[in-house]
C-alpha cells in the first residue's frame, strides 16, 4: 500500500489468508496476461518453504532459487531470474531451505529493495497463506495488493480480518515513525473494541485521534482514502457467488473506512484443472476460457492504474 519505492517498477503482492484459494494460479496467469499486454513481468515465488509457482509454467527443476540469494550464495538478484518460454516473462523460484520462511526484517527489506531495482514493469509476488507479518509486510511495501478469496463465508471473513490486520500494522508503523506513543496506545485499545466500543470503527478511531491530534487524524484519513485493495473472488460458480464480494466491500467501508476497494470475480472453470494436469498455464492452453477472460480483466485494471 505504497509506503515507499520508486515508481517505474510496480510491485504487486498477491495474498489470501486462506490456503488453496487460488493465489498461485492467479499469480502465474496474471503474469502471462500482463506480458501479453506488452509489459515486462517477473513473477516471484515468495511462498517460502512451500514453493510451487514454477510448476505452473511447466518448469520441473529449479536451478537458482531465492535460497541462493537469501543465503548469500548468489549476490545479485537478476542472476536468479529464470527466463520462461513466454516473451517478457521471467520467474524467480522459491526456496526450500527450512527456516527461510521466517526472514528477519532486514533480509526482507533487502529483498524488497532488490526486487524494486529489477529492470521490469511488474513484479508479481506469490505469497503464502496466512496473515503473519512476513506476508503483511510484503503487502505494505508493495504498490498494489490483490487479496484472493473464495465466495464461502469463512474465506470472506478471513479476508476481512486480513485487511484489518494490515490496516492496524500500517497505522502502527506510521505512528512509530512519527513517534506518537499516545496514538499507539489508542490503537491498542481499538483492538480490544469490546472494552472500547467507540473505537469499533475507523470513523470512531479517527474521531478519538482528532481530539488528540488533528494533523494525525487527517493523515490517517489520507492513508485510508488512498488505500485501494483489489479483492478477487475466485472460483465463483454463480452470479450470487460473484455478489459476495460486495459484502466484503461493505464491511471494509463500514468498519475500516476503506471506500475505494475494487472487487473482481474469477469464475470456476474446468479448464484450470485440465491445464494444470498437462503442466501448461491456462492462459496458453485455453486462451478463450472464462478463467482467461477474467484474468485479463485483472491485468487491464493493473495496467490502467498509475
Ligand X SMILES: Nc1ncnc2c1ncn2[C@@H]1O[C@H](COP(=O)(O)OP(=O)(O)OP(=O)(O)O)[C@@H](O)[C@H]1O
Contacts to Mg ion by CB under 5 A: 23-24
Residue 232 binds ligand X (CB under 6 A): no
Q: Where are the beta strands (DSSP E) in the chain?
A: 10-15, 41-46, 82-83, 89-92, 122-127, 144-149, 230-236, 262-267
Closer by beta carbon to Mg ion, 65 or else 257: 65
Residue 142 binds ligand X (CB under 6 A): no
Q: Residue 8: what are its φ and ψ, rounded to 5°?
A: -75, -25
Residue 116 binds ligand X (CB under 6 A): no
Closer by beta carbon to ligand X, 290 or else 301: 290
Closer by beta carbon to ligand X, 90 or else 94: 94
DSSP characters for 254-285?
A: HHH-----EEEEEE--HHHHHHHHTT--HHHH
Q: How far is the CB of 29 from ligand X (least distance, A)?
A: 9
Closer by beta carbon to ligand X, 89 or else 224: 89
Residue 268 binds ligand X (CB under 6 A): yes
Residue 152 binds ligand X (CB under 6 A): no
Grid cell at residue 261: 476497494
Q: Which residues contact 166 (CB under 8 A, 6 or more apart)?
A: 1, 131, 136, 139, 140, 145
The CB density around residue 6, as the number of other CB atoms within 10 Å, is: 7
Residue 25 binds ligand X (CB under 6 A): yes
Beta strands 82-83 and 89-92 are antiparallel
Per CB under 6 A, the list member of 10, 12, 15, 23 interacting with ligand X is 23
Q: Torsion angle of alpha carbons 156, 158, 160, 161, nearest 10°?
A: 170
Q: How far is the CB of 54 from ligand X (least distance, A)?
A: 13
Residue 203 binds ligand X (CB under 6 A): no
Binding residues for ligand X (CB under 6 A): 16, 19-25, 47, 129, 234-235, 266, 268-269, 272-273, 276, 291
Amino acid at each position: 500500500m505504497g509506503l515507499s519505492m520508486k515508481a517505474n517498477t510496480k510491485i504487486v503482492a498477491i495474498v489470501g489468508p486462506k490456503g488453496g484459494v487460488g493465489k498461485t494460479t492467479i499469480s502465474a496467469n496474471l503474469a502471462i496476461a500482463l506480458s501479453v499486454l506488452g509489459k515486462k513481468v517477473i513473477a516471484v515465488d515468495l511462498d517460502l518453504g512451500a514453493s510451487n509457482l514454477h510448476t505452473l509454467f511447466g518448469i520441473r527443476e529449479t536451478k537458482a532459487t531465492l535460497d541462493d540469494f537469501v543465503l548469500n550464495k548468489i549476490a545479485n538478484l537478476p542472476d536468479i531470474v529464470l527466463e520462461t518460454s513466454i516473451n517478457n516473462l521471467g520467474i524467480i523460484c522459491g526456496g526450500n531451505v527450512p527456516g527461510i520462511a521466517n526472514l528477519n526484517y532486514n533480509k526482507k527489506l533487502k529483498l524488497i529493495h532488490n526486487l524494486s531495482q529489477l529492470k521490469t514493469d511488474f513484479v508479481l509476488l506469490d505469497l503464502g497463506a496466512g496473515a503473519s507479518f512476513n506476508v503483511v509486510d510484503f503487502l505494505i511495501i508493495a504498490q498494489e495488493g490483490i487479496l484472493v478469496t473464495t465466495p464461502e463465508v469463512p474465506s470472506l471473513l478471513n479476508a476481512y480480518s486480513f485487511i484489518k490486520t494490515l490496516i492496524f500494522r500500517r497505522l502502527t508503523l506510521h505512528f512509530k515513525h512519527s513517534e506518537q506513543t499516545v496514538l499507539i496506545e489508542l490503537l491498542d485499545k481499538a483492538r480490544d473494541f469490546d472494552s472500547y466500543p467507540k473505537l469499533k470503527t475507523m470513523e470512531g478511531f479517527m474521531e478519538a485521534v482528532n481530539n488528540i491530534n488533528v494533523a494525525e487524524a487527517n493523515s490517517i484519513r489520507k492513508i485510508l482514502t488512498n488505500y485501494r485493495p483489489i479483492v478477487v473472488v475466485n472460483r465463483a460458480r454463480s452470479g450470487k457467488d460473484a455478489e459476495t464480494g460486495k459484502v466484503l466491500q461493505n464491511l471494509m467501508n463500514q468498519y475500516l473506512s476503506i471506500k475505494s476497494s475494487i472487487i473482481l470475480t474469477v469464475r470456476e472453470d474446468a479448464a484450470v484443472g485440465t491445464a494444470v494436469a498437462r503442466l501448461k498455464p491456462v492462459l496458453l492452453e485455453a486462451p478463450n476460457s472464462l478463467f482467461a477472460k477474467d484474468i485479463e480483466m485483472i491485468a487491464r485494471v493493473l495496467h490502467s492504474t498509475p
